[in-house]
Amino acid sequence: NGLLSGKNILIMGVANDRSIAWAIAQSLASQGAAIAFTYENERVEERVRKLAGTLPNTVVLPCNVTVDTEIDSLAATLKEQFGVLHGLVHSIAFAKTEELEGLFVDTSRDGFALAHDISAYSLVAVAQRMYPLMTEGGSIMTMTYLGAERAMKNYNVMGVAKAALEASVRYLANDLGQFNVRVNAISAGPIRTLAAKGIKDFNSILRSVEEKAPMRRTTEVAEVGDTALFLMSHLSRGITGEIIFVDNGYHIVG
């Protein structure tokens, strides 16, 4: 018996065992959640299946969030397999590596569109099809970064996409509250993952956190996982439309 026993939760964005989504999955599973994982394409399918197989009560389904019909099929399959959905964890972002260095002013039209499509619109596209399954109330969360509110070196178009994502969290929260569905984001400090590999000078960002953050340490994925557990649980029932920082306090001083 745990905080999430009897709850069915969809987790999107596991790429490998370093993914933030994977740490979230471990926290949620430890409290009894049944989890549906999605994978972007065949390239990562086996890896996601292997990881999911190490937890009890999991299913693994395809979904590339740039394709509406794949999200439609996902919703249909979840309705069949789970009936009711209680939570959605969106942990997906993408920008071309050439847009994550140099000057933001050089961002291309298609690079801007792609980053926004995958990193911001996908939350809306998925929420749109999943909230109808949340007939017992639900919790939706996504992952964001401080670059949404500050102009940070190299983060560029991803910062603008995260600003759109955070605004989407507020609009979705306002729409879905009447259905007893909450929508929030975790703003995590920098963590070494596959996605972080795309960001230039990531090491110096980590060093600056170690020097300046009130806790004098970088963010661990398990810290994000446990905050996600809180957001998915009844304990956070009064919180919606919020951006919660899990960054060892960096944003108050940085």
Window 125 to 154, contacts with ligand 0WD (CB under 6 A): 143-145
Window 159 to 188, contacts with ligand 0WD (CB under 6 A): 188
Find the binder of ligand 0WD among 36, 89, 118, 173 (CB under 6 A): 118
Q: Is 193 in the site for ligand 0WD (CB under 6 A)?
A: yes
Please confirm, yes or no, whether 250 is among the known catalytic residues: no
User: Helix (H, G, I), strand (E, B), or coil: what is residue 180?
Assistant: coil
Q: Is 123 in the site for ligand 0WD (CB under 6 A)?
A: no
Q: Is 194 in the site for ligand 0WD (CB under 6 A)?
A: yes
**Contacting range for ligand 0WD; rule: CB under 6 A; set: 90-98, 101-109, 167-175, 232-240:** 90-98
| Active-site position among 39, 121, 131, 145 | 145
Please confirm, yes or no, whether 131 is among the known catalytic residues: no
Q: How far is CA 146 from CA 1, 22, 226, in A?
A: 36, 21, 19
Report how far residue 159's alpha carbon sits from residue 49's, in angstroms, rounded to the nearest whole number.
31
Q: Sort residue 154 into left (φ over 0), alpha (ψ -120 to 50) or beta.
A: left
Q: Where are the alpha helices (DSSP H) in 177-232?
A: 194-197, 202-212, 221-232
Report how far residue 149's alpha carbon sits from residue 159's, in angstroms, rounded to the nearest whole number.
8
User: For residue 204, what are the contacts with CB-CB under 8 A and spacing of at least 6?
Assistant: none
Binding site for ligand 0WD (CB under 6 A): 13, 15, 19-21, 40, 64-66, 91-94, 118, 143-145, 188, 190-191, 193-196
Active-site residue set: 145, 155
